[in-house]
Copies of this chain bind each other. A is one copy, B any other.
């Protein structure tokens, strides 16, 4: 586990994760985790008459998988405090394969903590056709090397 400080993050840095296929298993387990048994995810018959003709993955599942894929090495000096502009852009179906793409978009001061800075990562989940299915901004609070700026 290596420390990486606010000063070490570079705007424009980019990474792409390995891929992971979304399975029926993931959806069934996520229904159990979230308690969301809506027919959009659980009722293949009902879905046949809907716009997409098939079950779609829960938004919170797609988000959790893409965030999991996007994770970099553990950095003990950083923690997530939130996400902005989370958008579900396209439906994700059973059998789709997701990757996470992360661009370091911005660094800014923290209004509350002088010894930390805010790092904003633009996170995108893309499917096997390179279409964006989910997008958000990941907000990290990262310690400054000097302690206080």
Indicate whether A21 reaches chain B with its CB closer than 8 angstroms: yes
In the assembled complex, the Cα of A128 lies from the Cα of B124 at a distance in Å of 34
> A84 contacts which chain B residues (CB < 8 A)?
84-86
Per assembly, the copies of the chain total 6
Using CB atoms and an 8 Å cutoff, list the residues of chain A in contact with chain B: 1, 18-21, 23-26, 28-39, 42-46, 55, 58-61, 63-65, 67-69, 71, 74, 80-88, 95, 97, 128
Nearest residue (CB) in B for A37 is B35
**Of the residues B34, B65, B81, B88, contact of A68 by C-beta under 8 Å:** B34
Q: Smallest CB–CB gap between A36 and chain B, Å? A: 4
> A85 contacts which chain B residues (CB < 8 A)?
82, 84
**Of the residues B29, B44, B59, B60, contact of A29 by C-beta under 8 Å:** B29
